[in-house]
């Protein structure tokens, strides 16, 4: 098929790469054009705008940071909307507002007869590279089934979770778990270290039991190695937690643990760790456990 991919970042680049490897003709666009170079070298066709990608594609994927970015990609100058048409399917792999997602889909369907799936993903850059992402898709069941062969190139667990917007709601729940698991991972490693237990041994044992998690198994070793390179950045998780808390407020749902995690990730941003991986939360937990110093005023 002729596939478009807009947003060639930490996640978008390997996902577009996998679509290329599967034999599809892939047209790509990114605001920072140089990020497209590695994919261009292996056969992707770089376009000058989202509209240019859209006019050549049967299905257009997006993977950009926030709700406003998706709106700009679709409705901004030289955006998808300019070339949207009947038969086109837009698939959003971003993590954004469920309410805004429903509005984007409704307008594209009403004005352009264009179909829409919100299909956010989970599994980090490792899952994106390996094609083993979890994909939670919202939209018409028939459109989902039409696009399933493409989604199966990108992920190993693909679920239709409901109408448009349901994918983003499911992803909000996923990000809640990611934040709290990362906090548990950071605290557990710090407690082991402070108590004189080898945190590497602790992490290995706990990963095999009921206390294990994806965070401990995949990011615990990075904390121990002081490797804070981003597979998924703190800035992006903080944005996701804002969306989670907005959704909680909308449905009058109390999430005290998530609120605490949000504040700690905000502290990480304040300390300058926003562009680092989410495992850099461990540095905040370590800071909280440093010996107190006398502050002179």
pLDDT tens figures, 206-244: 999 999 999 999 999 999 999 999 989 999 999 999 999
Burial 263-281 (b: 16+ CB within 10 A, else e): ebbbebbeeebbebbbbbb
Range of the domain at 177: 169-288
The stretch 136-163 carries a mean pLDDT of 98
Helix, strand, or coil (residue 157): strand
Site of tokens 């596939």: 3
163, 188, 204: which is the final residue of a domain? 163
The stretch 14-40 carries a mean pLDDT of 97
The stretch 238-251 carries a mean pLDDT of 97
The reply to whether 229 and 284 lie within a common domain is yes
CA separation for the pair 290, 241 (Å, rounded): 27
Average pLDDT of the residues of the chain: 96
The residues, any chain, with a CB within 8 Å of residue 179's CB and separated by 6 or more, are 237, 240, 241, 258, 261, 262, 265, 278
The reply to whether 38 and 131 lie within a common domain is yes
**H-state helical runs in the chain:** 12-21, 37-40, 50-55, 67-75, 80-83, 98-112, 124-130, 141-154, 166-194, 199-207, 214-218, 220-224, 234-250, 256-270, 281-288
Q: 136 has which bridge partners?
A: 159
The reply to whether 121 and 201 lie within a common domain is no
163, 197, 216: which is the final residue of a domain? 163
**What residues are annotated to the active site?**
171
CATH number at residue 182: 1.10.1040.10
- The 8-class DSSP code of residue 58 comes to S
The stretch 185-191 carries a mean pLDDT of 98
The reply to whether 182 and 83 lie within a common domain is no
The reply to whether 135 and 243 lie within a common domain is no
The reply to whether 36 and 57 lie within a common domain is yes
Please check whether residue 2 is in contact with residue 30, taking contact to mean a CB–CB distance below 8 angstroms: no
Percent of the chain surpassing pLDDT 70:
98
Q: Look at residue 292 and tell me whether its pLDDT is greater than 90.
A: no
* Residue 294: predicted pLDDT: 57
DSSP 78-123: T-HHHH--TT-EEEE-S---HHHHHHHHHHHHHHH--EEEE--EES
Q: Look at residue 297 and tell me whether its pLDDT is greater than 60.
A: no
Q: Look at residue 101 and tell me whether its pLDDT is greater than 80.
A: yes
CA separation for the pair 145, 286 (Å, rounded): 47
CA separation for the pair 166, 99 (Å, rounded): 10
109, 140, 163: which is the final residue of a domain? 163
The reply to whether 33 and 158 lie within a common domain is yes
The stretch 116-142 carries a mean pLDDT of 96
The reply to whether 135 and 190 lie within a common domain is no
Q: For residue 295, tell me if it sits in a domain.
A: no
CATH number at residue 38: 3.40.50.720
First-to-last C-alpha distance (Å) of the chain = 67
* Residue 291: predicted pLDDT: 81
pLDDT bracket for residue 293 (50, 70, 90): low
The stretch 37-45 carries a mean pLDDT of 97
Q: Look at residue 295 and tell me whether its pLDDT is greater than 80.
A: no
């Amino acid at each position: 098929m002729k596939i478009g991919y807009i947003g060639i970042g930490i996640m978008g680049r390997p996902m577009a790469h996998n679509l290329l490897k599967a034999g599809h003709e892939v047209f790509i666009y990114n605001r920072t054009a140089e990020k497209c170079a590695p994919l261009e070298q292996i056969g992707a066709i770089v376009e000058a705008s989202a509209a240019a990608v859209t006019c050549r594609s049967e299905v257009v994927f997006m993977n950009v940071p926030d709700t406003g970015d998706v709106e700009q990609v679709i409705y901004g100058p030289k955006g998808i909307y300019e070339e949207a048409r009947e038969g086109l399917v837009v698939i959003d792999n971003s993590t954004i507002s469920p309410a805004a997602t429903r509005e984007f889909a409704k307008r594209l369907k009403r004005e352009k007869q264009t179909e829409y799936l919100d299909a956010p993903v989970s599994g980090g850059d490792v899952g994106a590279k390996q094609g083993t992402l979890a994909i939670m898709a919202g939209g018409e069941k028939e459109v989902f089934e039409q696009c399933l062969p493409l989604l199966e190139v990108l992920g190993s667990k693909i679920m239709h979770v409901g109408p448009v917007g349901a994918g983003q709601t499911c992803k909000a729940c996923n990000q809640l778990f990611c934040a709290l698991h990362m906090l548990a991972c950071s605290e557990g490693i710090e407690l082991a270290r402070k108590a004189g237990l080898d945190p590497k041994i602790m992490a290995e044992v706990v990963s095999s039991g009921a206390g294990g998690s994806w965070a401990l198994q995949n990011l615990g070793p990075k904390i121990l190695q002081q490797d804070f390179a981003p597979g998924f950045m703190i800035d992006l998780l903080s944005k996701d937690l804002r969306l989670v808390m907005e959704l909680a407020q909308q449905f009058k749902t109390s999430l005290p643990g998530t609120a605490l995690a949000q504040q700690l990730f905000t502290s990480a941003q304040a300390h300058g760790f926003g562009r680092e991986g989410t495992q850099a939360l461990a540095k905040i937990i370590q800071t909280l456990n440093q010996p107190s110093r006398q502050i002179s005023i």
